Structure 1
Amino acid sequence: MLQNNFSKVIRSDINLLVTLYFLLENRQVSRTAKQLYIGQSAVSHQLNRLREMFDDQLLVRTAAGMMLTPFAEQIYPTLGNVVADLEVLLKKKNKNLHPHPHPIKDIYRICVPEDTYIEDVSVLFYDFAHDENIRDNVTFEVFNRYDSCISDLNEGKIDFFFGSSDNLSGAICSSKLIETEFCLAVRADHPLANKTVQLADIVKYPWIDILFREKANSYANEHWGEAINNMRCVLKTSSANAAITLLSHSDAICSLSDDIINKRGLAQVKTKNKIKITNYLYWHKIMGDDAFHRYIREGLISRYVSENINARK
């Protein structure tokens, strides 16, 4: 039941509470501005308004960085619940007015570029199916690249294919997702960790080669081949997870995407050459008559791009 002083809520800018949540979470104006897609000056202005609204400094600068005031510490959990509830509310839709198309088959097969992405993509598909109330109608089969995956895609045996490849037939359709930067990766305490080096500096270290990366490996050879060709390859594997495990237990070097490097607590070896690859979602044109495939494809593309952009901030 609404309280008598609800007029305060009506007169207030509720967007300010969203800004406040991210400010308290990040303790940083610049990062909050990036997440909200607005300028730092706008966030600073909103912080001043919030300080007036609550009659509290909320964030104060200390030698250790920006810190929450006792009052901000008190309201932070409540703000988190408010933002989460808003997100759930905005996702809701009347399923009876907008029913989803019925799937034409029981299983849809999804191929991801490397096993490091299987968990994220599996959760992405599951959450989408849950939110759209379709999880009882279909099974998603998620797996990573293998010897004949390109052939299977070209023959229509794979329904969703994430990655980047040039060896595709004219029957394959695509939609652009995100751009990935590949870097030389090492364990966090490696002698070259976070250092800017010349290619000659990496030759004495072992190399790990990850298979089934047509474009990434081609670019790696183009930019780092002078060194790679003179390094001792200690492992060839289709599993990026296996490569990461060996990186963590050796002085080896491997090419990995920047998001995986950050996510797994690894470090970059910085060179003047950087590899940027555009990732796509591919599917066979025989799926053109599958309205259910199109329905989840369009929804997943926007969700995948949004989640990956936010994860990189």
Structure 2
Amino acid sequence: MEPTRLSGLNLNALVALDALLTERNVTRAAQRIGITQPAMSQSLGRLRELFDDPLLVRRGRAMVLTPRAEAMLLPLSDALLSVERALQLGMGFDAATSNRIFKIALTDLGVTMVLPSVLRVLGREAPGIRVQVEPLSGGRLSDKLSSGEVDLVIAVYLGSAHGLRREKLLDEDYICLVRRGHPMARRKRARIGDYENYGHVAYTPVGFVPRPMSRAVPGVASAAGIRVSVPYLLALPDVVRRTDLVATVPRSLLSAPIDLGGVAAVEAPLELPRVEHAQWWHPRFDSDPAHQWLRKQVRQALV
């Protein structure tokens, strides 16, 4: 695009372009900025003509970015964030009157054990603020934090954490779950060899065994030990109840509102490290008043 053709772009067009590149879907992009799907389709047509590039192309049942669109994604998001911050200079953040929606990525256990405490704090301080829970998945999570598509992640471990800020909130120990009647159920503590003897149900919300655990105890993550990996912590008791497999989970699972009937809890091997729960965000938002406020509320709710 020639420099003189910048006159064909206004801020609304840039916002639409950012939504299209981020969502990779016309309908979701329209919902993101509050316009109709036909209006977003028209915007995409004008942007394609202006940039002389299709921007989004169909691959199978999904839409993917062209190389040019991919190159624009983060710089455009940075530019719009800078504009937003410039317009908010001197305004600060008034939690008591804000109606902002914060997007927080959590595991299923986090939704039941962490989210209620956070919501109680937010309800007292900011009755108009809403929280949208996002799934904790490894794919594009770092990009989502960078773009502001996700404000905060509360998790045990992130594999794609390069360049992200991390603040420890609390820690706890692991326990092992086996079915009642399992040979291990009569013991007080599990041993590392049990994972290979009986098979390990690995809890993998981000696609793999947490690195601190696998570094400390390589056998936990060995191919011989892991029989199945499950991204849903609240489903593990049912898997254990019907097999001879051993699950290793944070102790807080015992307090979750789930059925643990027919399941016995055994202390985890002493070699396992403690579980550290942390909040993660992108450094772009270090000084953002609203983001600072959110992190403070999470800290107060959980520490």
Tell me the TM-score normalised to structure 1 length: 0.55
Contact 2:105–2:150 (8 Å) recurs in 1: yes
Amino acid at match of 1:135: P
Contact 2:174–2:267 (8 Å) recurs in 1: no
Amino acid at match of 1:291: P
1:183 deviation in Å? 3.7
> What 5-or-longer segments of structure 1 have no aligned partner?
1-98, 306-313
Contact 1:207–1:234 (8 Å) recurs in 2: yes
> What 5-or-longer segments of structure 2 have no aligned partner?
1-93
Aligned-CA RMSD value: 3.1
Aligned to 2:154: 162
Amino acid at match of 1:175: E
1:209 deviation in Å? 2.2
Q: Distance in 1 between matches of 2:265 and 2:145?
A: 34
Aligned residue for 2:115, secondary structure, equals: helix
Contact 1:207–1:253 (8 Å) recurs in 2: yes
Deviation string 1:107-153 (CA, Å, 9 cap, x unpaired) is 211112x2112123332232122212x233x3201133113223322
Deviation string 1:148-183 (CA, Å, 9 cap, x unpaired) is 22332244322111123363243x333221123234
Contact 1:118–1:144 (8 Å) recurs in 2: no
Deviation string 1:256-292 (CA, Å, 9 cap, x unpaired) is 1122246565502542312224322122233345323
Aligned to 2:133: 142
| 1:255 aligned onto 2:248 | yes
Closer, same or farther in 2 for the Cα pair 1:186/1:261, shift >3 Å? farther
Aligned to 2:291: 293
1:234 deviation in Å? 4.2
Aligned residue for 2:295, secondary structure, equals: helix
Amino acid at match of 1:161: V
| 1:152 aligned onto 2:147 | no
Deviation string 1:7-48 (CA, Å, 9 cap, x unpaired) is xxxxxxxxxxxxxxxxxxxxxxxxxxxxxxxxxxxxxxxxxx
| 1:106 aligned onto 2:100 | yes
Closer, same or farther in 2 for the Cα pair 1:215/1:227, shift >3 Å? closer
1:253 deviation in Å? 0.9
Amino acid at match of 2:202: D
Of the three residues 194, 211, 218, the one matched with 1:218 is 211
Deviation string 1:60-93 (CA, Å, 9 cap, x unpaired) is xxxxxxxxxxxxxxxxxxxxxxxxxxxxxxxxxx
| 1:190 aligned onto 2:199 | no
Closer, same or farther in 2 for the Cα pair 1:151/1:277, shift >3 Å? farther
Closer, same or farther in 2 for the Cα pair 1:167/1:126, shift >3 Å? same
Q: Distance in 2 between matches of 1:232 and 1:168?
A: 26
Closer, same or farther in 2 for the Cα pair 1:284/1:226, shift >3 Å? closer
Closer, same or farther in 2 for the Cα pair 1:214/1:199, shift >3 Å? same
Contact 2:209–2:221 (8 Å) recurs in 1: no
Closer, same or farther in 2 for the Cα pair 1:241/1:111, shift >3 Å? same
Aligned to 1:8: none
1:293 deviation in Å? 2.7
Closer, same or farther in 2 for the Cα pair 1:169/1:203, shift >3 Å? closer
Aligned residue for 1:124, secondary structure, equals: helix
Aligned to 1:53: none
Amino acid at match of 1:299: Q
Deviation string 1:215-237 (CA, Å, 9 cap, x unpaired) is 95323333443365364644322
Closer, same or farther in 2 for the Cα pair 1:293/1:218, shift >3 Å? closer
Counting aligned pairs with the same residue, the percent is 14
Q: Distance in 2 between matches of 1:157 and 1:146?
A: 14
Contact 1:219–1:275 (8 Å) recurs in 2: yes
Aligned to 2:167: 175
Q: Number of aligned residue pairs: give it.
A: 203
Q: Distance in 1 between matches of 2:154 and 2:243?
A: 30
